[in-house]
Amino acid sequence: MDVHGRDLRYFAAVAEELNFTRAAERLFVSQPALSKQIRMLEKQVGADLFHRDRRAVRLTVVGKALLPHARGMLAAWEAAEAAVEEAKAAELHTLVIGMSTSPGRGLLPALRTRLVSRHPHARPVLRQVNWADPSAGLADGSSDVAFVWLPLPDGDRYRYAVVAQEPRLVALPQGHPLAARAAADSEGAVDFTDLLDEPFLALPSEAGPLRDYWLALDARDDRAPRIGGVVGSAEETHEAVANGQGVALLATGNASLVVRDEVIAVPVRGISPSHLAVAARRDDERPLVVAYLAAAAMVAAGTARTEPPP
C-alpha cells in the first residue's frame, strides 16, 4: 500500500550502480540488508525490478517504469523537508503579540522599532484576543507576548513590564445624571461613591480577578456591585453604555475607543489607577520574547515613572 522512502532510495541507488555491493556501500548498509530490502520492495510491487543474471544486474521493464517515479518522490520529500525547515525558521522569527484592545499610546511602533533593531529577522504579528481571556492569548499559547491589564490571574505563571499607569475613567451615557454632576465639578470628575449603586458592565466571568478590578471591588467595602451586563469588546461596551444598560470603568488611554456619539467618559476620584503591562509566560525564554519584554521595560523607563504594580 505505502512505500517507505528508504526503499525508494535503496532502489534508486541500485538502479544507478547496477551493483548491489557498491550500492550498499554508498548507502552505508550491508549488502544482504540491501538485497533483502529490494526483494521486499519487489514483493510489494508484485514484480521484479532487477534482472540478476549471473554476470550483471539490469533494470526490468517494471523497474524502468518505477525509477522516474521513485526519483520524483525522493525529490518531493526533499522539497517537503525544505518547506518544513523554512516554516520552522519563519516561526522562530515570528512574535505573536496578543492584545485585548489596541494598546495605543504609541507603544506598538516604539516596541517594534526596538525589537527589530536587535533582531532584524523578527516579524512581529499583532493578534486581537477576546476580553474573556485576560492573558490575551498567553495562557493557551496563541500569543507569545501580550498587552495585559494588571492584576493578571495566575500571575505567577507570567512575568511582565508595566508600560503605562493611568487614572481610570467612567463611561456614561450623555444624558446620565452623573454627567451633569461631573460637568459641574471643579475637576470635571465624579466620586466613586456616587457610582456604587449604578449598574456596571462587567467582563466575562472567566476574566476572574480582572473582572473584579474593573468593577473596582476593592473600593466597595464588600458591597456587591450591580451588574448591568457582560461585555467582550470596546464596541459592545459603547453600545451597552449608550443604551443605558450600565456604566463602565476604563483606562484613560482607552477612552477614545468607547467615547463617541452618546457616550462620554469622566475621571473618577477614589479608585486606583490602571496598569498596562507587556507580559510573557514566565518559562518562555525565547530570544524574541526576552527582547520584547526588555524593550517594554526600556520604553516604560523612558516615558513614565515605573511604579510597582498594585
Partner DNA sequence: CTGTTGTGATAGCCATGAGTTATGGATGTC
Partner DNA sequence: GACATCCATAACTCATGGCTATCACAACAG
Residues binding its own copies (CB under 8 A): 1-6, 8-9, 45-47, 51, 53, 60-62, 64-66, 69-70, 72-73, 76-77, 79-81, 83-84, 86-88, 90-91, 140-141
Closest to 276 in 3D by CA, of 140, 113, 23, 106: 106
Q: Taking the complex as a whole, how short is the minimal distance between the CB of residue 133 and its own copies, in angstroms?
A: 13
φ and ψ at residue 9, rounded to 5 degrees: -65, -45
Q: How many residues does the chain have?
A: 310
Query: CA-to-CA distance for 61 and 152, rounded, in angstroms?
Result: 70
Spatial distance between the Cα atoms of 121 and 94, rounded to a whole number of angstroms: 9
Residue 9 interaction partner, one of DNA, its own copies, none, beta carbon < 5-8 Å per kind? its own copies
Q: Yes or no: say if 201 and 230 are a contact pair by the CB < 8 Å rule.
A: yes
Instruction: Kindly tell me which of 133 and 147 has the beta carbon lying closer to DNA.
Output: 133
113 belongs to the binding site for DNA (CB under 7 A): no
47 binds DNA (CB under 7 A): no
User: Least CB distance from residue 73 to DNA, whole Å?
Assistant: 16
Using the minimum distance from each CB to its own copies, give the nearer residue, 70 or 171.
Answer: 70
- Interface residues for DNA in 187-226 (CB under 7 A)? none
Closest distance of CB 56 from its own copies, Å: 10
Q: What, of its own copies, DNA, none, does residue 116 touch, CB below 5 to 8 Å by kind?
A: none
* Shorter beta-carbon distance to DNA: residue 52 or 260: 52
Residue found by looking up cell 486606583 in the block: 272
Q: Which is nearer to its own copies, 84 or 180 (CB)?
A: 84
What gap in Å lies between CA 309 and CA 237, rounded to an integer? 26
Q: Which does 52 bind (CB under 5 to 8 A by kind): DNA, its own copies, none?
A: DNA
Q: Of 16, 40, 64, 287, which one interacts with DNA (CB under 7 A)? A: 40
Residue in 47, 52, 61, 206 binding DNA, rule: CB under 7 A = 52
DSSP character for 47? S
How far apart CA 296 and CA 310 sit, in angstroms, is 18
Judge contact between 237 and 258, C-beta under 8 A. yes
Cell of 158: 507570567
Pick from DNA, its own copies, none: which does 89 bind, CB < 5 to 8 A by kind? none
Largest CA distance in the chain: 109
Taking CB under 7 A as the rule, which mask of x and - marks residues 10-39 in contact with DNA?
--------xxxxx-----xxxxxx-xxxxx
Helix, strand or coil, per DSSP, at residue 194:
helix
Extract the C-alpha cell encoding 303: 516615558
Residue 141, binding choice from its own copies, DNA, none, Cβ under 5 to 8 Å by partner class: its own copies
**Identity of the residue numbered 8:** L
Closest among 263, 267, 250 to 190, alpha carbons compared: 267
* Residue 232: C-alpha distances to residues 133, 153, 175, 184 (Å): 10, 17, 24, 32
* Nearest-approach distance from CB 38 to DNA, in angstroms: 7
Residue 51 binds to DNA (criterion: CB under 7 A): no
Query: Does the footprint of DNA cover residue 54 (CB under 7 A)?
Result: yes
Minimal CA–CA distance to 242: which of 223, 224, 226, 228? 228
* Contact positions vs DNA (CB under 7 A): 4, 6-7, 18-22, 28-33, 35-40, 52, 54-55, 57
